[in-house]
Amino acid sequence: MTYAEIILPIAGGVYTYSVGEDLADDVEVGSAVSVQFGARKIVGGIVRRVHGEKPPFAKIKPVLSLLFAEPVVSAEQIEMWEWMAEYYMCSLGEVMRAALPAMLKPSGFTAEEFAADEFRARRVRMVELSSSVSGEVAFNEACERLRRRAPKQYDALVDIAGRDGGRVPRAELRADAAILAALQKKGLISVYEREITDDTLPDSNKKPPSLPQLSPTQQIALDGLRASLRDHKVALLFGVPSSGKSEVCFHAIAGTLAKGRDVLLLLPEISLTTQFVGRVRKVFGDRVVLYHSGLSDRRRAETYIRLSRSKGGSLIVGARSSVFLPIPRLGLVVVDEEQDSGYKQQDPAPRYNARDSAIVLAGLHGARVILASATPSLETWTNATGGKYGLVELTERWGGTLPPNVIISDTIRAVKRGERRSHFNKELLDRIKDTLRCGRQVILFQNRRGIAPFIECTDCGHVPKCGHCGIPMSVHRGELQCHYCGAATPLTSLCPSCGGMNLTTRGFGTEKVEEELARIFPDARIARLDRDSAGSERAYNRIIGDFEHGATDILVGTQMVTKGLDFAGVSLVGILNADNLVNHPDFRASERAWSLMAQVAGRAGRRTQRGEVVIQTSSPESHLIARAAAGDYRAMADELLAERAMYGYPPYSRLVSVMLRHADGDILKTAATRFGALLRPAFGERLLGPQPPVVEKIKGEYALLFLLKVPRGKAMSAVRKTLQTATATLLADPALRKTSVTVNVDPQ
């Protein structure tokens, strides 16, 4: 008897089923099959292993059917899934749930429900010229006969022959069914159905890419990158903003495609990088295959299936989920803006980092990896400077453009001198006025959306908070919103606590900045780019398109304005509040603040004209802000790495956070005390907590957080086993079994 371990898209993960004789020759590793799970439900699963070892239980359910003739998951993919489940401490079922498009995971409580949920490739009815008349003589003879006896059949045959390859979709022909039936009966045409394919996968006839001309500096970097990747599996391409890293990567990509290999280009948020994707398409044309969550379920499933059949030469451009795609001939992975926290999946499991997962994926295929950034993560920088990764640098901006002139504007001094209006120092307002007078554009960066972070009653000090999450509600036009669960309540003029009428806003967001700018510069055309104004890809493209074509003078935005944008008309960038970037309760706050400031500053003067950047801060003496103003990444990295080493934070350790949640705060405290007692014998002082997280209550549940520092070199498998044992022991207590335990490896 044959048995198969089947991965199912549920938390449990892997179950054993029997394989009947009718399927035994067809079921193999990576096959998609249907099985019964529980009393009634039918689900789709993936075969992990086929063997002849009878499981040690009496009743074994059979595999019901094979969903595709060929495996849909390769051996390399399954190995990747197994690594991800082990490293990120989740089940294989949770990995499968994230890895496969929704339509490749059908389920239902009846065969009919399952069939309705199952992916079926779209098919089209085709009409094709028969091989019997493919020769010129035979075709002319057939035409001569039809011209005299059946002129309508003659017209139809000539129409078909004139199409590309003598092949045409039935719907495109004007001939009726009777005429085509007569031609088919005479053996002149064949009618059949075929699976619909699109032009997203390359063929051998695609024209070569139209690559940009490299400057001498870029060519040196490209040569260095190629040499580095001969000696290292991973290389960091470290270049200042506007140095032309993308163009260097394009040439590296083209070299891999020319060998018939596939390339995976990862972007942090592909829906927010439309401009960059347009540049990629312009260079590589029909070789580009897009994959991201914004595509329909059917399009994602079709792209997945077709890539699994690809013969190579595709450039897959996608967000973090693209690491799960079947890429049989993977030769190169490029991770753009490798430091971006958008590569880290937060919820649900698997909580993977796409950058790190891509490096593992490349290793399974014998491929190489390029990590590109102007502000690399400290982990990547340490690997590059320590020799584990190759390091290639681009130290000058493309075209000889000078770096922007950075002005650090002291907010406290501006207030004392009466030189601050609303949220703007005079230094910034004067430069905005001059920029607009010259017909140039301005970007203003405020990393908080809404009108204000919260409101406060000046009579009693009450701050309205979300009833589900316990955090202050942010002010938007006409209402208060929770940025965590989305709850909203009307904005009233009365304090809900004391009934007073002295409610005032505290802080400011992008919406408030937009309002104030409209009052100060009434003739300026102002737009806002944040999650509220650009809630859809269409809205985002409209805002970016207007600014790119000069229809907008001032663009106010959150960190969305830092992602993959290049505007020729921008000569001034203002960072309105650098302090709220730096003063965040997170050991990565300084690194992220530096990265964001450097990225947004890089939007200024990207072409022929030198730009200006104004950084408003209450701490002008800050080392971090001074480093950002000077663009001195190395000095910043040295300073922060010394601090990390002192306190044992990454890259000198690995972090694992464990979040406990419960609707009852007292029960949660009991659970956390018990959980800590179970872990401390194994981890000692390396286990920190329990402490309330920044947001102590989310969606009606209280939370407590443990943070574990794992020394470099210690096996994560041992950590996983200890955490699993402690979790099982904790949840075995009936009073604590409703406690939610969430493990997050390498939290960002």
Query: 401: which DSSP letter?
Result: P
Whether 338 has a pLDDT exceeding 60, the answer reads yes
Q: Are residues 734 and 596 in the same domain?
A: no
Helix extents (H) in 532-664: 537-548, 579-582, 589-601, 623-630, 633-647
pLDDT tens for 121-143 read 888 889 999 988 888 889 999 99
Question: Among residues 117, 133, 166, which one ends one of the domains?
Answer: 117
Asked whether residue 203 is domain-assigned, the answer is no
CATH no. for residue 344? 3.40.50.300
Asked whether residue 469 is domain-assigned, the answer is yes
Asked whether residue 422 is domain-assigned, the answer is yes
Residue 206 is predicted with a pLDDT of 58
Q: Are residues 312 and 276 in the same domain?
A: yes
Whether 345 has a pLDDT exceeding 60, the answer reads yes
Residue 240 is predicted with a pLDDT of 87
Whether 251 has a pLDDT exceeding 80, the answer reads yes
Asked whether residue 206 is domain-assigned, the answer is no
The proportion of the chain whose per-residue pLDDT surpasses 70, expressed as a percent, equals 95
Helix extents (H) in 38-107: 75-87, 92-99
The range of the structural domain enclosing residue 190 comes to: 123-195
pLDDT tens for 604-614 read 765 567 889 99
For range 105-116, the mean pLDDT: 91
Contact 578, 601 (CB under 8 A): no
Helices 537-548, 274-284: crossing angle, 10 deg rounding: 80
Residue 741 is predicted with a pLDDT of 97
Q: Are residues 430 and 543 in the same domain?
A: yes
Asked whether residue 155 is domain-assigned, the answer is yes
**For the chain, what is the domain count?**
6
- Tokens encoding 387: 């020799």
pLDDT tens for 405-460 read 999 999 999 999 999 998 899 999 999 999 999 999 999 999 876 655 678 787 88
Helices 354-365, 75-87: crossing angle, 10 deg rounding: 140
Residue 204 is predicted with a pLDDT of 40
Of the candidate ranges 65-79, 170-184, 322-336, 388-402, the one whose mean pLDDT is the lowest: 388-402
Q: Are residues 521 and 495 in the same domain?
A: no
Residue 531 is predicted with a pLDDT of 83
Q: Are residues 662 and 732 in the same domain?
A: yes
Q: Are residues 416 and 538 in the same domain?
A: yes
For range 728-746, the mean pLDDT: 97
Confidence grade of residue 493 (pLDDT, cut at 50, 70, 90): confident
- Range 141-163 burial, b when 16+ CB lie within 10 A, else e: ebbeebeeebeebbebbeebbee
Whether 273 has a pLDDT exceeding 60, the answer reads yes
Question: Among residues 117, 148, 183, which one ends one of the domains?
Answer: 117
Residue 480 is predicted with a pLDDT of 85
Of the candidate ranges 192-196, 252-256, 403-407, the one whose mean pLDDT is the lowest: 192-196
Confidence grade of residue 199 (pLDDT, cut at 50, 70, 90): very low
Q: Which residues contact 79 (CB under 8 A, 6 or more apart)?
A: 364
Q: Are residues 275 and 183 in the same domain?
A: no
Confidence grade of residue 674 (pLDDT, cut at 50, 70, 90): very high
CATH no. for residue 683? 3.30.70.600
648: left (phi over 0), alpha (psi -120 to 50) or beta: left
Residue 487 is predicted with a pLDDT of 81
Residue 200 is predicted with a pLDDT of 41
Q: Are residues 547 and 480 in the same domain?
A: no
Quick one: which of 572, 569, 632 has its CA closest to 600?
A: 572
Which of the pair, 654 or 472, is modelled with greater confidence? Answer: 654
Whether 649 has a pLDDT exceeding 70, the answer reads yes
The proportion of the chain whose per-residue pLDDT surpasses 90, expressed as a percent, equals 63
Which of the pair, 503 or 352, is modelled with greater confidence? Answer: 352
In angstroms, the CA 651 to CA 114 distance is: 47
C-alpha distance from residue 464 to each of 424, 475, 491, 493 (Å): 27, 10, 10, 12
Asked whether residue 433 is domain-assigned, the answer is yes
For range 377-394, the mean pLDDT: 97
Question: Among residues 117, 150, 166, which one ends one of the domains?
Answer: 117
> Whole-prediction pTM value?
0.85
Contact 637, 651 (CB under 8 A): no
Asked whether residue 30 is domain-assigned, the answer is yes
CATH no. for residue 67? 3.40.1440.60
Of the candidate ranges 185-199, 328-342, 369-383, 551-565, the one whose mean pLDDT is the lowest: 185-199
Whether 335 has a pLDDT exceeding 60, the answer reads yes
Asked whether residue 435 is domain-assigned, the answer is yes
Q: Are residues 443 and 459 in the same domain?
A: no
Q: What is the per-residue DSSP string for 547-570? A: HHTTS-SEEEESGGGGSS---TTE
Quick one: which of 519, 550, 517, 514 has its CA closest to 529?
A: 514
Q: Are residues 28 and 144 in the same domain?
A: no
Whether 202 has a pLDDT exceeding 50, the answer reads no
For range 70-85, the mean pLDDT: 96
Confidence grade of residue 12 (pLDDT, cut at 50, 70, 90): confident
Positive or negative torsion for Cα 622, 626, 631, 634: negative
Quote the mean pLDDT of the chain.
90
Residue 439 is predicted with a pLDDT of 94
Quick one: which of 335, 326, 374, 382 has its CA closest to 358?
A: 335
Q: Are residues 245 and 394 in the same domain?
A: yes
Of the candidate ranges 31-40, 223-232, 467-476, 625-634, the one whose mean pLDDT is the lowest: 467-476
Q: Are residues 578 and 598 in the same domain?
A: yes
Residue 102 is predicted with a pLDDT of 92
Confidence grade of residue 336 (pLDDT, cut at 50, 70, 90): very high
Whether 189 has a pLDDT exceeding 90, the answer reads yes
In angstroms, the CA 723 to CA 707 distance is: 12
